[in-house]
Amino acid sequence: MNDGVVAESLRKSFGPGADALRGVSFAAGRGAITGLVGPDGAGKSTLLRLAAGLLLPDGGSVRVLGLDPDGEVHELRRRIGYMPQRFGLYEDLSVQENLRLFADLQGVVGDRRDEQFERLATMTGLAPFGDRLAGQLSGGMKQKLGLACALVKEPEFLLLDEPTVGVDPLSRRELWQIVDTLVDEHGIGVLVSTAYLDEAERCGDVVVLDRGEVLDIGPPARFAAAMRGRVFAVTPRPGVPPRRLQAALSGQPGVLDVSMRAGRVRAVAAADGEPIADLPALADDVAEVAATTPCFEDAFMARLAGRSERVQVRAPAVPERTAGGRVAVQVRDLRKHFGDFEAVRGVSFEVHEGEIFGLLGPNGAGKSTTFRMLCGLTSISDGEATVAGRDLRRAGKRARARLGYMAQKFSLYGSLSVLENLRFFGTAYGLAGARLRTRIDESLAEFGLGDRRRDTAATLPGGYKQRLAMAAALLHEPDILFLDEPTSGVDPVARREFWLRINAVALAGTTVVVTTHFMEEAEYCDRMLIMARGAELAIGTPAEIRATARSDEHPDPSIEDAFLILAERRTEAFA
Amino acid sequence: MSGQAAGSLRRTSGFLRKELLQILRDPSSIALALVMPVVLILLFGYGVSLDAEHIPVAVVLDDRGSASQDLLARLEGSPYFEPRRVSTVTDADALMARHEVQGVVRIGPDFESRLAATGTAPVQLVLNGVDSNRARLVEGYFDGIVGTWAAARIARGEAAAAPLVTVSPRTWFNADGRSTNFLVPGLVALVMTLTGALLTALVVAREWERGTMEAILVTPLRAAEFLIAKIVPYYLLGMGGMTLCVVLGLLLFDVPLRGSFASLLGVGSLFMLASLGMGLAISSTVRTQFVAAQASILAGFLPAFFLSGLLFDLDSTPLPIRLISHVVPARYFVGASHTLFLAGDLWSVIWPDVLALAAMATLLIGVARRRTGIRIEG
């Protein structure tokens, strides 16, 4: 029974008011995968680090394979594998050298080492890349190498901290296949934290954490089953953009969660038989409301909905501008070289005013480079790009005045208050006097920052930082808003909120260009470009892209399925 | 037991191998450890000289006599001065104001006649005293020239009565009085601090920043093994930098090495270990390269520069500074290095420095060992 990880009333604090874990108890057995899910700051990484003996608990206990991570740490570390976030690889060492280092450290030598290397190379598909530096591998390859390094000694228990963040869907699927094999054939136990709720469905048990407490534990199917009768697919009338429906539904009483799925709005009701179809806001726009099969994500969002502040995103009832009007961004055969390496290999697309346009793809696909060229942050090697009617190669500066930009990392001043940050960015964009004051007041109200206006930016919780960053980028009322991976490293709950805000901005008439590596977020976009290896993999509306991928085998593919199918087709075409 | 030892050896050598590969592939560590010494020694050797030579001075000669002509000729012949004749004091002042000359020498119209009548005559020397050290040096050189001029006059019988007491100065250890002979032995300490404290603190902080530390900590690698694998390569790199520095000093600047190179290596090793201990102690608490760089510059580099006796003689500094300098490892090494370069293997003089360095190396590595843990928290 005490074979895997057993935690009892585990507590860990990083100082007053910084409790990471507040009495966590659960057991994760061997021969099974146990998932850890929860919003940012739930305590997932802390829990894994306590199990690995990287941190010591302040109270309660955790035992791994029956061992105490304090007193028996050396024995423990001989028997477990651990992969930290960002994989913990030496990027200036080759694949072989990384493996060899971890083999030496784990005492795997001689014939056994050769056998292990061969087995791991075959399992991960890294065999052809032995001499390549880890830093030059794709995100998916790095992730597999990180896993291989953790598996060198054939651990009895494996701890994985968000192993798939930012990795392409194909690699994500392959990683899970490897982990499944390890569990099925070798009987090892796995404790894995993840920000992808669909991955939770692949676990035997799921531990839902929030703010250092266990909310629930159980098999994902049980979570889903409890939601039966409360999840609905709402189909909009023809001509009604689904995201307008989403905005209208969000924040309605009795509705816990609203998301987009395959062109329909998915709504989770607070209680059985909640009459979602009768909501007055929907009357004109809805064609059909049908009960649908619940999944773990629905249960997770519903479980957390009551625990955080409800998001009220004010969306204009009637769009001020309709999509499909003038062209806001025009790109033709855009290219970017870094020395011999061609990061962007000729992409073309256009974005219309008032549209949400997504640039999608795994890390390293070239979407960030494309994005930076459009914002004028990096030079264009070849091709044409027009933003807000101005040629970026000639009038970059003037184009930039008409756009707002929100960087991937929090790029405001941590030591300034919310108000001071907004004042600074407003002034930097040329606002002054009464106009600046009005805009700041409007922003504070719109983004729910009024109560926190005097707080220092660094002390804001993650979701609020994100709001402040977006408020700063919108202060000068740009024609086009560029968002670079706004949801990367953001938990599922905050991601939902953020997309509602993006939706509201677009409904108010601002064009939005957004990058993301979460494929399912494509559903929130009007149109998108999916990139892979610097080139276009697909372009169009979510419905069009799903249609391209549709086959007898996959009658109703999600965007992520579509990515996998299209990527596979492309590989076959090359072969 | 032997199985455990073999495991430990394998872990240490595996980690060491990784460290060497990283050094070889990282241009910035090579630059800091081997290119920096070359740059520093060229800069100090050619650029930073505490000597004054070819000092431009304006000369206003209002006297036409042979004695003043003789004095002027000696000024012109001196390697220390570059006299420029001007006709009036106003012109000389103007040159001073434009920083074209460092001083003004004025010989009055009655120089010859007063000399003949009384045996003495005044020569006016005006100096730019902004850099007071330099002004004193220039004054000294000028006194020297006037002295030899007077002596020659006595020898020729043009002046009477040699003074009763004469000073015949002789400079020991650095007979040429060249500041490179003083600077290069101290510079070695600076170069070794860069590799020992700065580079080591940086590479450990980099492991934290890139998340590799977390992966390494969860392996059976012990803290002591980690430290050995970090010390060995950077010790070698630092000693390489030191050797480079010494060889360049000997070849380019003719700095004498009167003691043996072996002694220098021995004392240098102790200092290197102390520096490495400092770097590793810093990196055991610091998690980012930025803070690591700041901390090692404040704790290692700046004291090695200002409180080691590298630039200034510590005996002439105020007492509090002198007291503080006793906790700076570089102080002991610079002292020993000066002795080894300029005097020789005088163990009776070096012993106290060697003991102090050994104690500091032990202490600092001990602190690093205590503070380096196998967990994220200290």
Q: Is A103 at the interface with chain B, CB within 8 A?
A: yes
Averaged over A229-234, what is the pLDDT? 88
Is a pLDDT exceeding 60 seen at residue A320? Answer: no
| Mean per-residue pLDDT of chain B | 87
DSSP secondary structure letter of residue A293: -
Q: Are strands B55-61 and B103-107 parallel, antiparallel or unpaired?
A: parallel
CA distances to A157, A467, B107 from B293, in Å? 38, 34, 56
Distance from the B36 Cα atom to the nearest Cα atom in chain A, whole angstroms:
23
* 3-state secondary structure string across A25-48: EEEECCCCEEEEECCCCCCHHHHH
Among A115-119, A153-157, A530-534, B366-370, whose mean pLDDT is lowest? A530-534
A83 to chain B: closest CA residue: B215
pLDDT tens-digit map of A237-246: 887 778 888 8
Chain B residues with CB under 8 Å of A82 CB are 215, 218
Is a pLDDT exceeding 70 seen at residue B49? Answer: no
A146 to chain B: closest CA residue: B215
pLDDT tens-digit map of B215-249: 999 999 999 999 999 999 999 999 999 999 999 99
Could you say which residues from 195 to 214 on chain B have a Cβ atom under 8 Å away from some Cβ of chain A? 210-212, 214
Tell me whether residues B11 and A83 touch, CB distance under 8 A.
no
Is a pLDDT exceeding 70 seen at residue A279? Answer: no
Task: Pick the more confident residue, A85 or B356.
Answer: B356
Q: State chain A's maximal CA–CA distance in angstroms.
A: 76
Is a pLDDT exceeding 70 seen at residue B257? Answer: yes
Q: How many CB pairs under 8 A join A and B?
A: 89
| Mean per-residue pLDDT of chain A | 86
CA distance A133 to A142: 10
pLDDT tens-digit map of A493-515: 788 888 888 888 888 889 999 98
Task: Pick the more confident residue, A486 or A95.
Answer: A95
A52 to chain B: closest CA residue: B218
Task: Pick the more confident residue, A320 or A400.
Answer: A400
Q: Is B220 at the interface with chain A, CB within 8 A?
A: yes
User: What confidence category does residue B377 fall into, taking pLDDT thresholds of 50, 70 and 90?
Assistant: confident
Q: Residue A104: what pLDDT?
A: 94
pLDDT tens-digit map of A30-60: 999 999 998 877 889 999 999 999 999 999 9
User: What confidence category does residue A1 fall into, taking pLDDT thresholds of 50, 70 and 90?
Assistant: very low
Could you report the predicted ipTM of this complex, rounded to two decimals?
Answer: 0.78
Is a pLDDT exceeding 90 seen at residue A254? Answer: no
Is a pLDDT exceeding 60 seen at residue A407? Answer: yes
Is a pLDDT exceeding 70 seen at residue A283? Answer: no
Distance from the B245 Cα atom to the nearest Cα atom in chain A, whole angstroms:
29
Ramachandran angles phi, psi of B212, nearest 5°? -75, -30
Q: Is B148 at the interface with chain A, CB within 8 A?
A: no
Is a pLDDT exceeding 90 seen at residue A446? Answer: no
Averaged over A372-391, what is the pLDDT? 86
Q: Which of B11, B21, B215 sits opposite A104 (nearest CB)?
A: B11
Q: Which of A55, A102, A105 sits opposite B375 (nearest CB)?
A: A55
Q: Residue B163: what pLDDT?
A: 54
Q: Is B66 at the interface with chain A, CB within 8 A?
A: no
pLDDT tens-digit map of A461-473: 777 888 899 999 9
Q: Residue B157: what pLDDT?
A: 75
Ramachandran angles phi, psi of B112, nearest 5°? -60, -45
Averaged over A403-410, what is the pLDDT? 83
Tell me whether residues A55 and B377 touch, CB distance under 8 A.
yes
Tell me whether residues A104 and B7 touch, CB distance under 8 A.
no
User: What confidence category does residue B155 fall into, taking pLDDT thresholds of 50, 70 and 90?
Assistant: confident
A133 to chain B: closest CA residue: B25
Q: Residue A565: what pLDDT?
A: 87
Q: Residue A188: what pLDDT?
A: 93
Q: Is A53 at the interface with chain B, CB within 8 A?
A: yes
Which domains are assigned to chain B? Answer: 3-48+178-376 (no CATH), 55-155 (3.40.1710.10)
Q: Is A149 at the interface with chain B, CB within 8 A?
A: yes
CA distance B49 to B183: 9
Q: How many C-beta atoms surround the C-beta of residue B314 within 10 A? A: 17
| Contact between A360 and A515 (Cβ < 8 Å) | yes
pLDDT tens-digit map of A163-195: 887 777 788 888 999 999 999 998 999 999 998
| Residue % of chain B over a pLDDT of 90 | 38
Q: Is B323 at the interface with chain A, CB within 8 A?
A: no
Angle between helices B329-342 and B261-283 (to 10 degrees): 170
Tokens 């057995």 correspond to what residue?
A29
